[in-house]
Each structure stands twice: as structure tokens, then as C-alpha cells.
A and B are shown apart, each in its own frame.
Chain A
Amino acid sequence: MADYNMVMAGFGGQGILFSGKVTAYAGLMEEKNVSWLPSYGPEMRGGTANCSVCVSDEPICSPLVVTPNVLIAMNEPSYDKFIDAVVPGGTVIIDSTLIAKKCERSDVNVFYVPATELASEKGLDGLANIILVGKLLKETSFSAYESVLKAIDKCVSARKEHLKAKNIEAINLGMSL
């Protein structure tokens, strides 16, 4: 399988770090090597948030992804910051509710998903991030569907048990697009 070096980026509160964790956990469920590295500090308080996720058959060297082959962007500043770093042939998934721009690069595979709007319509508020992970799963098959379900089970705390079904719904929705 290919190595996945992903960047997920948006603003604080969108669940960027959580969607990264789900992705990493899905890799772990398949006995892959994984790493998850968040941005941290005061910028997290309502500012930009991003995380690097690596999934590989080999031990992960640098957990900091500088040249991603997957980018999920959930706001314009994040899109602007990372779009040029994506390697040719990479996959870019854009929340088109929040990012009006169209990608001018022709050497990357870009998918526009109005995830925030869809989440709102389908009663999946706060799960636009997971809809995008569903779309990523469909386009890249970065792991098996079952592994993502297991990952959601690991990542959603027992106190929020009721959110597990919602997360799965969001994955399914993303995959249907």
C-alpha cells in the first residue's frame, strides 16, 4: 500500500484533531504504523488548527508532514497555507461550504464537498470533519471501511456513546458523495 502523509487543517472547534485521530486509529486497527501530530498553543483557541497524520507499513520517520499526499482543508487560511505543499498526484478534499476558491493546480485530485452545509441539513452538526473523512475513504481507500468503524468506536468516548452512530452516519454520507 502507499504511505499516507496527511494534513488536516481548519479552525479550532471543527474537530480537525479528532478526524485526524480517527484516521490514525483506522491505520492502527490494521496494524499499520501511524502517527498523529497536532499544532498546539494559543493559536488553538479559535485560531487555525491542523494536524499531521501518517499511516505507513514502514516505521514513521518524520511525524510532521511537510509535503502531504492528502490534504483536508476546512477553511480558507488553511487551504492557502497548505495547497502548494501537496505533492503531485495527491488528494485534496475541500469543504466547499467554507472555501469559495477553486484549486488552480491540475496535478492534484481535488474534491469539493459542501460538508458543513450537508452536516447541517442532515442533522449531523459538528460532523462535517467526519463527512470529509468519509469522502477521503471513498477516494483513497486509505483503510478498510470496517477499520474506520472500529476507529470511531475507539475515539468516541464512552460518555458520548450516542455520537458513535452519528459519526458512522457521517462517514457513510461522505462515502456516498
Chain B
Amino acid sequence: MAEKVLMKGNEALAEAAIRCGCKRFFGYPITPQTEVAAYMAKRLPKIGGTYMQAESEISAINMVYGAASAGVRAMTSSSSPGISLKTEGISYLIGSDLPCLIINVMRGGPGLGGIQPSQSDYWQATKAPGHGDGHILVFAPSTIQEMVDLVFDAFDLAETYRMPAMILADGMLGQMMEPVVFPEKEVVEHEKPWAANGHQGKREHNIINSLYLKPDELERTNRERFARYEIIKEKEARVEEYLTEDADIIVVAYGATSRIVRAAVKAAREQGIKAGMVRPITVWPFPAKAVAKAAETASRMLCVEMSLGQMVEDVRLAVNGKVPVEFYGRTGGIIPTPAEVLEQIKKIAGGAK
């Protein structure tokens, strides 16, 4: 078996991408994700790859656009304010049906915000990663091992569905170290007959484009893309359920926050409260079915986030009024403590019939 090593989240993301065959990285320094770029700068030149420090976040995502158009695996990495700058490019990647990997190691916002962990880009990632109708795949790991595993899935599914994929992490996951094992599996890149890599006189020219001046053509293209999204929602939504079977109170949390919630749920159980957790692993597609199912057995739900309430809207949509959905969040870079969350669970339990 491969060796278990202690690795920082940011570095693990980078190493995982390299093991996925990603040899093109375009980035720009920003805390708290800079280790991703630094790791790539060190490793990629040694394996025939390209690390490029772009002049801006905008250029970095557009370099990814160029590399993805060429048919190679490419990625960029940033943190919240940088992702805002990239949204233009992300929209073009969506509109041109290009696969790539984008990492967002979230920090507090809005504006320059802070540099401590946050989950306040949930809306941006899942609802409006760029202008126009469109989505990207968004994976929300909660451990360093899962960060690694999801990078493999992100590249694979991005190519399967020809769309960008994002790893939505946060400063805590990016900066912390945990043991990790890199999967020893053969990576198969998908065929890319659509790539603009020179027709060599063997085919008609390929065009990578998101411009459709005729409204009916643009509508048709968008509808086709949304039909694909429906398949993705059906097949790719992922969730972890923790002690949900007999749970009366179900907490929904993703990413780093789910770790805090897990501790709180454990503590609640020790105090005789039947608590459980549903943890979305994909936040787009949002695992609405699993959340709705939880609402059938639980009497109350609680959504915990490092934001002032973003994913809770998706939870409420999924629950559709069947049970009350409470919210607890910290923001600005503050990580909620297990004790705080436990307090919330107890409060809700007190109100439960």
C-alpha cells in the first residue's frame, strides 16, 4: 500500500492534480491558497509541465481556457477575491463547454474581507459562478484525504460532462495537515475530438466559442446544457450521512464545518439527543433528495455554515416546508466551535415534540 504522509491541504490538492495528469497550472498568489501554486512551481518543471504565474487572476483563468481548449488537463487555484476576478473566464469556460479544475480556498468576504476560513462563496460557486445561465461541478471536501480523492473525480467528471469543476475548500482545509494516501490508480483522460489543437488537414476546423448571435441558437445551446445538468443532478449528487437513521434532529453542513458538526452530533448523542448529520459532498449538484429524505424522519433540521446563511436556502428548498430548518452560522473567518453547535442542537431539541 502507498505510504501515508502528513500533508497540508493545499499541497495535497496540488499533488493530486499532478497525479491526475494535470501538467498545466496557471495561478496568481493569494492567501490562504498560495501553497498550491508554490507546490506546482516546484514540481511541474521537473515533470515536463508548465507552472505559470499570470499577471492577474483574469489572465490565469484565461490561460486555463486556452489550455483546456487545446485538450489538456489544466487548472487554476485561488481564494475568494481572486475567484471573483475569475468569474468572467469561468463563464466563458461554461459557455464553451470546456473541462478544467478551479480551486477556491475560501476566506472571509465581502471585498478584501479577511484571510481566515470561510464558506461565504457558496452562492457564487453554486448559483452564479459567472454571468449567464450555467453551472460548474462543485465538490466540498471535509478532510485532506477527501480533497485528494475529489480532485481525481473532479477532473474525470469535468471531462465526462465537458464543464469546469471546482474544489470548494476553505482556509482551514487548505492550511491544515492530515495523513493522506494517494490512490494508485491509472488515470484515463477522455478523448477530446473537439479540441482546438490543429486540424492537421485531417478534419474540419474546430471552433471553441460561446458566441451565438441568433437567440434561438443560444437558447437551444443553453437548453442542451441544462438537459445535461439534469443528468448530473440525477447521477452525481453525493452526500455522507452520519447517524441519520434514527435521528430526530438532523444537522446539514459541508466542508470544514461538517467536522465541527460531527463533534457536536457525537456530543449530543452522548447527552441522549438523537442527532445526526447530512453532509453534502457535492454542493452543485446539491444532494436535494438525500436532504429531503432526512426531513421525512427528523422532526427538525439545522444548517450550520461559516457564512450568514447560504446553503440553508438549498436545504429549505429541498425540505420544502416539511420540517422547520434552523440556521446557525459564524462568519468573517470565525470557525464555530463544537460547543456552540451543540448548544444550538440542544436548543432545537428542547423545542422538539
Contacts and interface: CB of A to CB of B under 8 A. Distances in A.
Do A and B touch (CB < 8 Å)?
A: yes
Interface in B21-44: 31-32
A36 B176 contact: yes
A36 B262 contact: no
A40 B32 contact: yes
B175 interface: yes
Interface residues of B, number: 22
B177 A24 contact: yes
A86 B4 CA distance: 31
B337 A62 contact: yes
A24 B175 CA distance: 15
Nearest to B260: A62
Contacts of B17: none
B6 A36 contact: yes
Contact of B259 (A25, A60, A154): A60
B116 interface: yes
A61 B115 contact: no
A64 B263 contact: no
A62 B338 CA distance: 8
A34 B338 CA distance: 18
Given A64-B335, A66-B337, A66-B339, A35 B262 contact: no
Nearest to A36: B177
State the main secondary structure of chain A at its contact with B.
Answer: mixed
Nearest to A37: B176
A62 B263 CA distance: 7
Contact of A35 (B115, B116, B178): B178
A40 B31 contact: yes
A61 B6 CA distance: 17
A41 interface: yes
Closest 6 CB pairs of A and B: A61-B263, A36-B177, A37-B176, A61-B262, A41-B115, A62-B260
Given A21-B6, A40-B115, 17 more contacts: A28-B6, A34-B6, A35-B176, A35-B177, A35-B178, A36-B6, A36-B177, A37-B176, A40-B175, A62-B260, A62-B263, A62-B335, A63-B172, A63-B176, A64-B335, A64-B337, A154-B6
